[in-house]
Structure 1
Amino acid sequence: MLVNLIKQVLSTVLQIVILLLAVSWLLDSGAQAMGYTWQWQRIPDYILIYEDGEWWRGELLDGLLITLQLSAWSLIATLIIGLTTAFLRLSNSIIGRIIARSYVELIRNTPLLVQIYLLYFVFGPIIGLDRFSTAVLALALFQGAYTSEVFRAGLNSISLGQFEAAKSLDLPILSTYRFVILPQVLQKTLPPLTNEVISLIKNSSIVSVMAIFDLTTQGRNLVSETAMPFEIWFTIAIIYLLLTLSLSGLSALLAHKLGAQWRTQ
């Protein structure tokens, strides 16, 4: 299985390289047709700067670090909200089920941008949240609704025999979920959870409307300063692509270790 996984990874990398070469050729042909002169040599200065014998972070690297911090905190909150909501949906409490169902339907049927504006301009100031915390909350609430459905499906897939076996061993309810149920849920839901994490990273770019200096905001500022829209935005797209591909690769390795159902189409 490990050999097959390596072959799949190498095949994916080869496909990406071929795709990038094809896109590069198309871009170069289009630039020549428009008379546009590429200025790729200036891009490294916005990532790392070597000055006075020291390395300094460029604007894009600063924005990338903010994006990583935002995504990491949002991911933690997303998992907590998603798992809690899934438990409420499956609980015996009518009120808990109504609250969880209402939350999921409300979030899934309204745009993320509208939710961000409401939190930033209305609810954030009321509860005293700064911009970064508001962005984390907005992303976590939005992605948590979708993640809860993944967790709910995973919990529903666990047979009642697993609970009965744990009960026969006199395991406390917390130990039952920690050592018996949740590891199986993770094994069954890792691929769709990976999709949710990737969506979270991509959706983090939307919080640039809150003037948070993430990767997208830094890119927009650089475009206005340098008049290099193509080079800047393509660089940002490549950075996001590398982030998501790295995450997919790590998830594939973890899925292999856990024996999760991971298929490549």
Structure 2
Amino acid sequence: MTLLEDHFSVFAQGFGHTLLASIIALIGSLVLGTFFAILQVTKSKWARGLGNVYVQIFRNIPLLIITLFFYLAVAKVIKMTGFTAGTVALTLYTSAFIAESVRAGILSVDPGQMEGARANGLSFAQAMRVIVLPQAFRVAIPSLGNQFINLVKNSSILAFVGGLDLMYQGNLVAANTFDTFATYIIVGAFYLIITLPLSYYIQYLERQLKQKA
């Protein structure tokens, strides 16, 4: 415990950056993923094509490559820190997987509900927002929960670009103290502080939805 006490402020700073990056990426990837999921189920060929291209690109390129692209290439045009580059990359990468989860949820909804909503005067966007998406998210919750947990763990990618996250600070402590085992045990415990409550909350939501079904 001496290691934690001596370097608590360092670990706390890293924990704060990891939590902030995770929250930003979670919100951003959910919005982007939902948007591209909707594009993939529209009747417009170009919209479906755009959605499919986006998802395939970011699903099939390693997160590290995306992060380094923003940190080394994009940062030359648009000034950004390692934290920003890593968070943007994490958002784009995760949004592709969320898009697939949401798309599967949308496709599970009876098409007749969209047709009925349109027949009653709702626009496509209104019908999607009011009728289809609420049901799609219920179906997609287990998959979305897994993606959110993966997002938190994947936030360690910020360490590669000086993102000041938990893993980055852990690396500094390990390098200074040479106590790598204890350092990464502490780092893992801090990650659990985020992921375990999130996991239990997702399970709680699943139980609540099953009771209402």
Q: What TM-score, normalized by structure 1, do the two folds share?
A: 0.74
Instruction: Kindly indicate whether residue 68 of structure 2 is the aligned counterpart of residue 107 of structure 1.
Output: no
1:70 to 21, 26, 29: 21
What is the alpha-carbon distance in structure 1 between the residues aligned to residue 134 and residue 54 of structure 2? 26
Unmatched tracts of structure 1, length 5 or more: 1-39, 48-57
Partner residue, 1:42: 3
Partner residue, 1:225: 176
Instruction: Kindly indicate whether residue 183 of structure 2 is the aligned counterpart of residue 204 of structure 1.
Output: no
What is the alpha-carbon distance in structure 2 between the residues aligned to residue 166 and residue 107 of structure 1? 33
Aligned residues: 212
What is the alpha-carbon distance in structure 2 between the residues aligned to residue 131 and residue 93 of structure 1? 38
What is the alpha-carbon distance in structure 2 between the residues aligned to residue 109 and residue 177 of structure 1? 28
Partner residue, 2:91: 140
Partner residue, 1:83: 34
Q: What's the offset of the Cα at 1:221?
A: 0.4
Q: What's the offset of the Cα at 1:260?
A: 8.1
- C-alpha offsets along residues 16-57 of structure 1, whole Å, 9 cap, x if unaligned? xxxxxxxxxxxxxxxxxxxxxxxx33323323xxxxxxxxxx
- C-alpha offsets along residues 136-178 of structure 1, whole Å, 9 cap, x if unaligned? 2100111111111101101110101221332344344444223
8 Å CA contact 1:205, 1:215 repeated in 2 = yes
2:117 to 166, 170, 175: 166
Bigger relative contact order, structure 1 or 2, given CA contacts below 8 A and separation 6+? 2
Larger helix proportion, structure 1 or 2? 2
1:93 to 33, 44, 48: 44
8 Å CA contact 2:87, 2:158 repeated in 1 = no
What is the alpha-carbon distance in structure 1 between the residues aligned to residue 142 and residue 195 of structure 2? 13
- C-alpha offsets along residues 42-101 of structure 1, whole Å, 9 cap, x if unaligned? 323323xxxxxxxxxx11111101000001111111011111111111122222222222
Q: 1:98 to 1:175 in 2, by over 3 A?
A: closer
Unmatched tracts of structure 2, length 5 or more: none
Seq. identity, %: 31
Q: What's the offset of the Cα at 1:241?
A: 2.3
Farther off after superposition, 77-86 or 193-202: 77-86
Instruction: Kindly indicate whether residue 146 of structure 2 is the aligned counterpart of residue 185 of structure 1.
Output: no
Q: 1:146 to 1:219 in 2, by over 3 A?
A: same
- C-alpha offsets along residues 177-234 of structure 1, whole Å, 9 cap, x if unaligned? 2332111111100000000001110110011111111100110001111121111101
Instruction: Kindly indicate whether residue 82 of structure 2 is the aligned counterpart of residue 131 of structure 1.
Output: yes
Q: What's the offset of the Cα at 1:109?
A: 2.0
After superposition, where does 1:10-25 map in structure 2 within 5 Å? none
Q: 1:260 to 1:108 in 2, by over 3 A?
A: farther
8 Å CA contact 1:59, 1:218 repeated in 2 = yes
